[in-house]
Amino acid sequence: MSHAAMVRSAPVIELKDIKVTYNSRGGSLFKPNKVHAVDGVSFSVSRGETVGIVGESGCGKSTLASVLVGLQKPTSGQVLFHGKDAKNRGAAGRKEFGRTVSVVFQDPSTALNPRMRIQDILTDPLQVHGIGTKASRAAKVKDLLALVGLPASAAEVTPSQVSGGQRQRVAIARALALDPDVVVADEPTSALDVSVRAQVLNLLSDLKTELNLGMVFISHDIQTVRYVSDRIAVMYYGKIVEEGGAEQVFDHPSNDYTKKLLGAAPSLLHP
């Protein structure tokens, strides 16, 4: 059995009964209103699969994403990273987590420093993790740019000098710099021009296959999620109300909310 096939079955990240509660802005200091942004979610992702998370605005998708990538501590519940409780990890464990799981945000204009050269944006994670030599890092930048379909000359310019679609490719390249096991993409095409959305989705699909990545793909648009996902989780008010194979969820939705999502307005991607 190949190494890739061996690791596929074991989840890289596993969430067990995760809850995230915020004090909402409406409450007072002594009697805060609670928002149950994530309300008892169990979820896992392995290498080689794309799991789509879909649900309408405010249902808790980004909050769940931030728990998945270790940016947010859950109010309760367990985060397992390669089968071990992430809570007990020390500095080295946190570093490994950051290396293994990366994130692509919605808007590359704000996610990337517009004044940094793309070369430096892509070498920054390698430097932070003390990986490679100057020469090997430069070679890595070349590889990363080729991987996401950008010309080598892009290294010399800044994000503000390339198009929105190209900027998102840079953000994807940066997410791949440390050879992660899992990439979490939170609405990665929503801020992009309609004409380049499909290209970026195809790129993510191709990368998943080529690199045997685990991918969590988050969108409010069920058509977009279907396009890329092997498995789909439907979120509603902080809970996963339906989960299953993409075809099953699409063709035989069991939940009323899923049916409603499927019946909603046609997506911009597939008008």
- Binding flag, residue 258, ligand ATP (CB under 6 A): no
Evaluate whether 208 touches 222 at the Cβ level (below 8 Å): no
Element (H, E) at 201: helix 194-211
User: Strand, helix or coil at 192?
Assistant: coil
Closest approach, Cβ 72 to Mg ion, in A, equals 12
Cβ proximity to Mg ion, 56 vs 96, nearer residue: 56
Span interacting with Mg ion, options 61-69, 121-129, 139-147, 223-231, rule CB under 5 A: 61-69
Phi, psi dihedrals of residue 255, rounded to the nearest 5°: -100, 140
Cβ proximity to ligand ATP, 23 vs 127, nearer residue: 23
- Answer with the entry of ligand ATP, Mg ion, none that 97 interacts with (C-beta below 5 to 8 A by kind): none
Q: What is d(CA 46, CA 12) in angstroms, rounded to the nearest whole number?
A: 5
Tokens 């299953």: give the residue.
244
Tokens 């801020």: give the residue.
191
Q: What is d(CA 60, CA 249) in angstroms, rounded to the nearest whole number?
A: 20
- Binding flag, residue 123, Mg ion (CB under 5 A): no
- Answer with the entry of Mg ion, ligand ATP, none that 161 interacts with (C-beta below 5 to 8 A by kind): none
- Binding flag, residue 24, ligand ATP (CB under 6 A): yes
Span interacting with ligand ATP, options 50-58, 85-93, 129-137, 176-184, rule CB under 6 A: 50-58
Q: What is d(CA 108, CA 106) in angstroms, rounded to the nearest whole number?
A: 6
Cβ proximity to ligand ATP, 35 vs 69, nearer residue: 35
Cβ proximity to ligand ATP, 60 vs 70, nearer residue: 60
Among 46, 62, 123, 212, binds Mg ion (CB under 5 A): 62
Among 15, 18, 46, 61, binds ligand ATP (CB under 6 A): 61
Cβ proximity to Mg ion, 27 vs 58, nearer residue: 58
Closest approach, Cβ 228 to Mg ion, in A, equals 17
Q: What is d(CA 64, CA 45) in angstroms, rounded to the nearest whole number?
A: 13
Give the Cα-Cα-Cα angle 49, 219, 148 (nearest 5 degrees): 60
Contacts of 29 (CB under 8 A, 6+ apart): none
Radius of gyration (C-alpha) of the chain in whole angstroms: 19
Q: What is d(CA 123, CA 201) in angstroms, rounded to the nearest whole number?
A: 24
Span interacting with ligand ATP, options 51-59, 75-83, 158-166, 199-207, rule CB under 6 A: 51-59
User: Strand, helix or coil at 123?
Assistant: helix
- Binding flag, residue 28, ligand ATP (CB under 6 A): no
Among 48, 52, 60, 70, binds ligand ATP (CB under 6 A): 60
Among 15, 59, 200, 228, binds ligand ATP (CB under 6 A): 59
- Total residues at the site for Mg ion (CB under 5 A)? 2
Q: Measure Cα distances from 72 to 81, 83, 192, 217, 218 in Å.
A: 14, 19, 26, 18, 17
Question: Using CB under 5 A as the criterion, which residues of the chain lie in contact with Mg ion when the complex forms?
Answer: 61-62
Question: Using CB under 6 A as the criterion, which residues of the chain lie in contact with ligand ATP when the complex forms?
Answer: 22, 24, 35, 37, 55, 57-63, 220
